[in-house]
Amino acid sequence: MKRSTRLIAFAALTLLVTIEAPRAQEIDFSDEPMVIEGSPENAERMANAIRIADNAILDYVTRSTQSIQQGHRQGFADFRDWYRTRRAEEADREATEAMLRSMIGSALGAGLNFVFPGSGTFVTILKSVSTAAYDAASEQIGSVNSGDVNMFLDRHQAALEGVITELLEVPESFRERGGEELEAAKWEFVFEAMDRESEGETPSSEVGPRTRRLLSNMGVPEPGPTTANVYRTRVLTRQIYAIFSQDRNLRISWVDWEMQVGAEASARRHIYPGQPDRYCPIETQLGNFFWSNECREWRNQ
Protein backbone atom coordinates (compact mmCIF):
# COMPACT_ATOMS: atom_id res chain seq x y z
CA MET A 1 0.00 0.00 0.00
CA LYS A 2 2.95 2.32 0.69
CA ARG A 3 4.10 1.83 -2.89
CA SER A 4 0.68 2.68 -4.26
CA THR A 5 0.17 5.73 -2.05
CA ARG A 6 3.53 7.20 -3.05
CA LEU A 7 2.74 6.63 -6.72
CA ILE A 8 -0.50 8.56 -6.35
CA ALA A 9 1.36 11.61 -5.05
CA PHE A 10 4.02 11.22 -7.74
CA ALA A 11 1.46 10.85 -10.51
CA ALA A 12 -0.34 14.01 -9.44
CA LEU A 13 2.88 15.98 -9.80
CA THR A 14 3.64 14.59 -13.25
CA LEU A 15 0.13 14.91 -14.73
CA LEU A 16 -0.50 11.17 -14.47
CA VAL A 17 2.26 10.16 -16.86
CA THR A 18 3.29 6.54 -17.09
CA ILE A 19 6.57 4.65 -17.06
CA GLU A 20 6.80 2.36 -20.02
CA ALA A 21 6.42 -1.41 -19.42
CA PRO A 22 7.22 -1.65 -15.69
CA ARG A 23 6.29 -4.56 -13.45
CA ALA A 24 4.49 -3.31 -10.34
CA GLN A 25 6.78 -5.08 -7.91
CA GLU A 26 9.92 -3.73 -9.59
CA ILE A 27 9.11 -0.03 -9.19
CA ASP A 28 11.82 1.63 -7.08
CA PHE A 29 10.91 4.56 -4.87
CA SER A 30 14.42 5.20 -3.52
CA ASP A 31 15.93 8.64 -3.62
CA GLU A 32 17.76 7.93 -6.89
CA PRO A 33 16.80 10.43 -9.63
CA MET A 34 14.28 9.13 -12.19
CA VAL A 35 13.85 10.27 -15.76
CA ILE A 36 10.18 10.59 -16.63
CA GLU A 37 8.85 11.12 -20.11
CA GLY A 38 5.48 12.83 -20.12
CA SER A 39 3.10 13.32 -22.97
CA PRO A 40 -0.61 14.04 -23.41
CA GLU A 41 -1.01 10.53 -24.84
CA ASN A 42 0.51 8.87 -21.78
CA ALA A 43 -1.45 11.11 -19.45
CA GLU A 44 -4.71 10.14 -21.21
CA ARG A 45 -3.70 6.47 -21.19
CA MET A 46 -3.17 6.53 -17.43
CA ALA A 47 -6.33 8.52 -16.78
CA ASN A 48 -8.27 5.95 -18.80
CA ALA A 49 -6.67 3.12 -16.81
CA ILE A 50 -7.80 4.75 -13.58
CA ARG A 51 -11.35 5.13 -14.93
CA ILE A 52 -11.40 1.43 -15.80
CA ALA A 53 -10.10 0.61 -12.31
CA ASP A 54 -12.78 2.77 -10.68
CA ASN A 55 -15.57 1.08 -12.65
CA ALA A 56 -14.18 -2.41 -12.09
CA ILE A 57 -13.86 -1.92 -8.35
CA LEU A 58 -17.34 -0.38 -8.08
CA ASP A 59 -18.73 -3.40 -9.95
CA TYR A 60 -16.88 -5.75 -7.59
CA VAL A 61 -18.18 -3.92 -4.49
CA THR A 62 -21.69 -3.90 -5.95
CA ARG A 63 -21.60 -7.67 -6.48
CA SER A 64 -20.26 -8.11 -2.97
CA THR A 65 -23.12 -6.01 -1.59
CA GLN A 66 -25.62 -8.02 -3.63
CA SER A 67 -24.24 -11.20 -2.04
CA ILE A 68 -24.77 -9.65 1.39
CA GLN A 69 -28.29 -8.63 0.40
CA GLN A 70 -29.05 -12.17 -0.76
CA GLY A 71 -27.79 -13.51 2.55
CA HIS A 72 -30.13 -11.17 4.39
CA ARG A 73 -33.06 -12.02 2.13
CA GLN A 74 -32.54 -15.76 2.65
CA GLY A 75 -31.92 -15.35 6.39
CA PHE A 76 -35.17 -13.44 6.81
CA ALA A 77 -37.08 -16.06 4.80
CA ASP A 78 -35.41 -18.87 6.77
CA PHE A 79 -36.60 -17.32 10.00
CA ARG A 80 -40.21 -17.36 8.86
CA ASP A 81 -39.91 -21.02 7.94
CA TRP A 82 -38.06 -21.87 11.17
CA TYR A 83 -40.63 -20.05 13.28
CA ARG A 84 -43.59 -21.86 11.76
CA THR A 85 -42.01 -25.30 12.06
CA ARG A 86 -40.01 -25.04 15.30
CA ARG A 87 -41.99 -22.68 17.53
CA ALA A 88 -45.58 -23.74 16.86
CA GLU A 89 -46.33 -24.46 20.52
CA GLU A 90 -45.02 -21.10 21.74
CA ALA A 91 -46.32 -18.99 18.84
CA ASP A 92 -49.53 -17.87 20.54
CA ARG A 93 -47.66 -15.92 23.21
CA GLU A 94 -44.54 -15.03 21.20
CA ALA A 95 -46.11 -13.62 18.03
CA THR A 96 -46.54 -10.11 19.35
CA GLU A 97 -45.70 -6.60 18.22
CA ALA A 98 -43.31 -6.25 21.19
CA MET A 99 -41.42 -9.38 20.17
CA LEU A 100 -41.09 -8.19 16.60
CA ARG A 101 -39.76 -4.80 17.70
CA SER A 102 -37.30 -6.51 20.01
CA MET A 103 -36.12 -8.79 17.23
CA ILE A 104 -35.57 -5.99 14.73
CA GLY A 105 -34.23 -3.40 17.14
CA SER A 106 -32.34 -5.31 19.83
CA ALA A 107 -31.27 -8.51 18.11
CA LEU A 108 -30.61 -7.25 14.58
CA GLY A 109 -30.15 -3.50 14.91
CA ALA A 110 -28.05 -3.68 18.07
CA GLY A 111 -26.32 -6.92 17.07
CA LEU A 112 -24.48 -5.62 14.02
CA ASN A 113 -21.07 -6.52 15.43
CA PHE A 114 -22.17 -10.14 15.07
CA VAL A 115 -23.62 -9.73 11.58
CA PHE A 116 -20.72 -7.53 10.39
CA PRO A 117 -17.67 -8.52 12.42
CA GLY A 118 -14.28 -6.96 11.85
CA SER A 119 -13.37 -3.47 10.74
CA GLY A 120 -12.59 -1.44 7.64
CA THR A 121 -14.32 1.29 5.68
CA PHE A 122 -16.77 -1.08 3.99
CA VAL A 123 -17.83 -2.65 7.31
CA THR A 124 -18.25 0.79 8.87
CA ILE A 125 -20.55 1.82 6.03
CA LEU A 126 -22.55 -1.41 6.29
CA LYS A 127 -23.11 -0.84 10.00
CA SER A 128 -24.07 2.81 9.50
CA VAL A 129 -26.56 2.04 6.72
CA SER A 130 -27.99 -0.96 8.59
CA THR A 131 -28.44 0.95 11.84
CA ALA A 132 -30.61 3.53 10.10
CA ALA A 133 -32.44 0.82 8.15
CA TYR A 134 -33.29 -1.25 11.23
CA ASP A 135 -34.40 1.85 13.12
CA ALA A 136 -36.74 2.68 10.24
CA ALA A 137 -37.97 -0.93 10.04
CA SER A 138 -38.76 -0.96 13.76
CA GLU A 139 -40.81 2.22 13.35
CA GLN A 140 -42.73 0.86 10.37
CA ILE A 141 -43.91 -2.44 11.80
CA GLY A 142 -47.50 -1.38 12.38
CA SER A 143 -49.83 -3.17 14.75
CA VAL A 144 -49.77 -6.93 15.31
CA ASN A 145 -52.63 -8.83 16.91
CA SER A 146 -51.00 -10.84 19.69
CA GLY A 147 -50.80 -14.51 18.80
CA ASP A 148 -51.64 -13.95 15.12
CA VAL A 149 -48.68 -15.78 13.57
CA ASN A 150 -49.57 -14.90 10.00
CA MET A 151 -49.79 -11.19 10.75
CA PHE A 152 -46.60 -11.38 12.82
CA LEU A 153 -44.64 -12.93 9.93
CA ASP A 154 -46.22 -10.66 7.32
CA ARG A 155 -45.14 -7.59 9.30
CA HIS A 156 -41.70 -9.14 9.70
CA GLN A 157 -41.34 -9.56 5.94
CA ALA A 158 -42.62 -6.11 5.05
CA ALA A 159 -40.40 -4.33 7.56
CA LEU A 160 -37.20 -6.19 6.76
CA GLU A 161 -37.52 -5.91 2.98
CA GLY A 162 -36.78 -2.25 3.60
CA VAL A 163 -33.45 -3.16 5.19
CA ILE A 164 -32.42 -5.06 2.06
CA THR A 165 -33.40 -2.09 -0.08
CA GLU A 166 -31.35 0.36 1.98
CA LEU A 167 -28.23 -1.73 1.44
CA LEU A 168 -28.35 -0.62 -2.20
CA GLU A 169 -26.67 2.64 -1.21
CA VAL A 170 -23.56 0.91 0.18
CA PRO A 171 -21.43 0.67 -3.02
CA GLU A 172 -21.72 4.36 -3.90
CA SER A 173 -21.08 5.36 -0.28
CA PHE A 174 -17.97 3.22 -0.35
CA ARG A 175 -16.83 4.89 -3.56
CA GLU A 176 -17.25 8.32 -1.95
CA ARG A 177 -15.70 7.48 1.42
CA GLY A 178 -12.97 5.01 0.49
CA GLY A 179 -10.25 7.64 0.66
CA GLU A 180 -6.58 6.74 0.28
CA GLU A 181 -7.23 3.02 0.73
CA LEU A 182 -9.60 2.97 -2.24
CA GLU A 183 -7.13 4.99 -4.31
CA ALA A 184 -4.45 2.45 -3.45
CA ALA A 185 -6.77 -0.35 -4.62
CA LYS A 186 -7.32 1.44 -7.93
CA TRP A 187 -3.59 1.73 -8.51
CA GLU A 188 -3.10 -1.92 -7.58
CA PHE A 189 -5.70 -2.76 -10.21
CA VAL A 190 -3.66 -0.77 -12.75
CA PHE A 191 -0.44 -2.53 -11.71
CA GLU A 192 -2.06 -5.94 -12.12
CA ALA A 193 -3.42 -4.97 -15.53
CA MET A 194 0.06 -3.84 -16.60
CA ASP A 195 1.55 -7.09 -15.33
CA ARG A 196 -0.96 -9.12 -17.33
CA GLU A 197 -0.31 -7.03 -20.42
CA SER A 198 3.48 -7.44 -20.12
CA GLU A 199 2.98 -11.21 -19.88
CA GLY A 200 0.94 -11.27 -23.06
CA GLU A 201 -2.39 -11.97 -21.38
CA THR A 202 -5.69 -10.69 -22.73
CA PRO A 203 -6.75 -7.40 -21.10
CA SER A 204 -9.51 -7.85 -18.52
CA SER A 205 -11.62 -5.61 -16.33
CA GLU A 206 -11.81 -8.34 -13.67
CA VAL A 207 -10.40 -7.37 -10.28
CA GLY A 208 -7.18 -9.30 -9.69
CA PRO A 209 -6.06 -11.14 -6.54
CA ARG A 210 -3.83 -8.36 -5.19
CA THR A 211 -6.61 -5.81 -5.57
CA ARG A 212 -9.11 -8.19 -3.97
CA ARG A 213 -6.74 -8.54 -1.03
CA LEU A 214 -6.63 -4.77 -0.53
CA LEU A 215 -10.42 -4.58 -0.73
CA SER A 216 -10.69 -7.45 1.74
CA ASN A 217 -8.57 -5.42 4.16
CA MET A 218 -11.23 -2.73 3.88
CA GLY A 219 -13.90 -5.29 4.77
CA VAL A 220 -15.21 -6.10 1.28
CA PRO A 221 -15.99 -9.85 1.10
CA GLU A 222 -15.61 -11.95 -2.04
CA PRO A 223 -18.84 -11.79 -4.07
CA GLY A 224 -20.72 -15.04 -4.52
CA PRO A 225 -22.67 -17.79 -2.75
CA THR A 226 -20.09 -18.33 0.00
CA THR A 227 -20.53 -14.78 1.25
CA ALA A 228 -24.31 -15.00 0.84
CA ASN A 229 -24.41 -18.15 2.99
CA VAL A 230 -22.22 -16.58 5.67
CA TYR A 231 -24.65 -13.68 6.05
CA ARG A 232 -27.64 -15.97 5.75
CA THR A 233 -26.43 -17.90 8.80
CA ARG A 234 -25.59 -14.79 10.83
CA VAL A 235 -28.92 -13.10 10.11
CA LEU A 236 -30.93 -16.21 10.96
CA THR A 237 -28.88 -16.75 14.11
CA ARG A 238 -29.62 -13.26 15.43
CA GLN A 239 -33.35 -13.66 14.87
CA ILE A 240 -33.43 -17.02 16.62
CA TYR A 241 -31.39 -15.50 19.44
CA ALA A 242 -34.10 -12.84 19.83
CA ILE A 243 -36.71 -15.56 20.29
CA PHE A 244 -34.54 -17.60 22.67
CA SER A 245 -33.69 -14.56 24.80
CA GLN A 246 -37.40 -13.98 25.45
CA ASP A 247 -38.19 -17.64 26.19
CA ARG A 248 -38.93 -18.03 29.90
CA ASN A 249 -37.73 -21.63 30.06
CA LEU A 250 -34.46 -20.90 28.29
CA ARG A 251 -33.78 -17.88 30.48
CA ILE A 252 -33.88 -20.21 33.47
CA SER A 253 -31.57 -22.77 31.84
CA TRP A 254 -29.09 -20.67 29.85
CA VAL A 255 -26.95 -17.59 30.28
CA ASP A 256 -26.54 -15.23 27.36
CA TRP A 257 -23.57 -16.95 25.67
CA GLU A 258 -25.46 -20.26 25.75
CA MET A 259 -28.43 -18.62 24.04
CA GLN A 260 -26.11 -17.34 21.34
CA VAL A 261 -24.53 -20.78 20.85
CA GLY A 262 -27.93 -22.47 20.88
CA ALA A 263 -29.25 -19.97 18.32
CA GLU A 264 -26.32 -20.59 15.97
CA ALA A 265 -26.68 -24.37 16.28
CA SER A 266 -30.40 -24.10 15.55
CA ALA A 267 -29.76 -21.82 12.56
CA ARG A 268 -27.19 -24.17 11.08
CA ARG A 269 -29.43 -27.19 11.65
CA HIS A 270 -32.24 -25.41 9.80
CA ILE A 271 -30.05 -24.36 6.87
CA TYR A 272 -28.14 -27.65 6.59
CA PRO A 273 -30.57 -30.39 7.71
CA GLY A 274 -29.04 -33.84 8.01
CA GLN A 275 -25.46 -32.49 7.97
CA PRO A 276 -24.29 -32.87 11.60
CA ASP A 277 -20.77 -31.77 10.76
CA ARG A 278 -22.28 -28.32 10.18
CA TYR A 279 -24.14 -27.88 13.48
CA CYS A 280 -22.99 -30.48 16.01
CA PRO A 281 -19.60 -28.77 16.61
CA ILE A 282 -21.62 -25.73 17.71
CA GLU A 283 -24.30 -27.58 19.65
CA THR A 284 -21.79 -29.62 21.65
CA GLN A 285 -20.33 -26.41 23.10
CA LEU A 286 -23.40 -26.49 25.34
CA GLY A 287 -23.74 -28.74 28.35
CA ASN A 288 -24.38 -32.33 27.24
CA PHE A 289 -27.87 -32.22 28.77
CA PHE A 290 -28.85 -30.03 25.79
CA TRP A 291 -27.32 -32.21 23.08
CA SER A 292 -29.63 -33.88 20.59
CA ASN A 293 -29.29 -37.66 20.17
CA GLU A 294 -27.90 -36.98 16.70
CA CYS A 295 -25.09 -34.86 18.11
CA ARG A 296 -24.41 -37.35 20.91
CA GLU A 297 -23.83 -40.01 18.29
CA TRP A 298 -21.74 -37.58 16.22
CA ARG A 299 -19.59 -36.73 19.25
CA ASN A 300 -19.04 -40.39 20.11
CA GLN A 301 -17.90 -41.42 16.64
CA 203 vs CA 46, 206, 239, 287: distances in Å: 15, 9, 45, 56
**Alpha carbon distance 4, 2 (integer Å):** 5
What's the whole-number mean pLDDT along residues 35-62? 80
Q: Is 100 exposed, middle or buried (0-12, 13-18, 19+ CB in 10 A)?
A: buried
Asked if residue 197 belongs to a domain, the reply is: yes
Q: Which residues of 141-166 are buried (b: 16+ CB within 10 A; e: fewer)?
A: beebeeeebebbbebbeebbeebbeb
Domain span at residue 205 reads 2-54+180-217
Give the range with max mean pLDDT: 104-113, 159-168, 264-273. Answer: 264-273
| Same structural domain, 50 and 12 | yes
Give the closest residue to 53 by CA, choosing from 7, 117, 120.
7
**Residue 99: predicted pLDDT:** 85
**Residue 95: predicted pLDDT:** 76
Q: Total structural domains in the chain? A: 2
Asked if residue 17 belongs to a domain, the reply is: yes
7-11, 85-89, 224-228, 234-238: which range is least confident on average? 7-11
pLDDT bucket at 93, cuts 50 / 70 / 90: low
% of the chain exceeding 70 in pLDDT: 84
pLDDT bucket at 27, cuts 50 / 70 / 90: very low
Give the closest residue to 138 by CA, choosing from 169, 108, 94.
108
Asked if residue 282 belongs to a domain, the reply is: yes
**Alpha carbon distance 267, 83 (integer Å):** 11
Q: Which residue has the higher pLDDT, 110 or 237?
A: 237
**Residue 92: predicted pLDDT:** 64
* SS3 readout for 76-101: HHHHHHHHHHHCCCCHHHHCCHHHHH
Give the closest residue to 72 by CA, choosing from 162, 164, 153, 135.
164
What's the whole-number mean pLDDT along residues 214-222? 95
Asked if residue 49 belongs to a domain, the reply is: yes
Q: Which helix (H) or strand (E) holds 42?
A: helix 40-86
222 DSSP 8-state letter: P
> Of the residues 198, 217, 236, which one is the last residue of a structural domain?
217
What's the whole-number mean pLDDT along residues 261-288? 96
**Residue 1: predicted pLDDT:** 42
**Residue 230: predicted pLDDT:** 97
DSSP string, 157-219: HHHHHHHHHHGGGHHHHHHHH-HHHHHHHHHHHHHHHHHHHHTTPPP--SPPHHHHHHHHHTT
**Within a 13 Å sphere around the CA of 108, how many CA atoms are in the beta-carbon half?**
35
**Alpha carbon distance 268, 280 (integer Å):** 9
pLDDT at 13 over 60: no
**Residue 106: predicted pLDDT:** 79
What's the whole-number mean pLDDT along residues 28-48? 62
pLDDT at 12 over 80: no
Asked if residue 99 belongs to a domain, the reply is: no
Asked if residue 148 belongs to a domain, the reply is: no
> Of the residues 170, 199, 217, which one is the last residue of a structural domain?
217
Convert the pLDDT of each residue in 227-253 to its tens digit. Answer: 999 999 999 999 999 989 888 888 888
Convert the pLDDT of each residue in 58-82 to its tens digit. Answer: 999 999 999 999 999 999 999 999 9
% of the chain exceeding 90 in pLDDT: 52
Asked if residue 100 belongs to a domain, the reply is: no
Angle at which helix 40-86 crosses helix 121-139, to 10 degrees, equals 40
Asked if residue 261 belongs to a domain, the reply is: yes
Quick check: helix, strand or coil at residue 70? helix
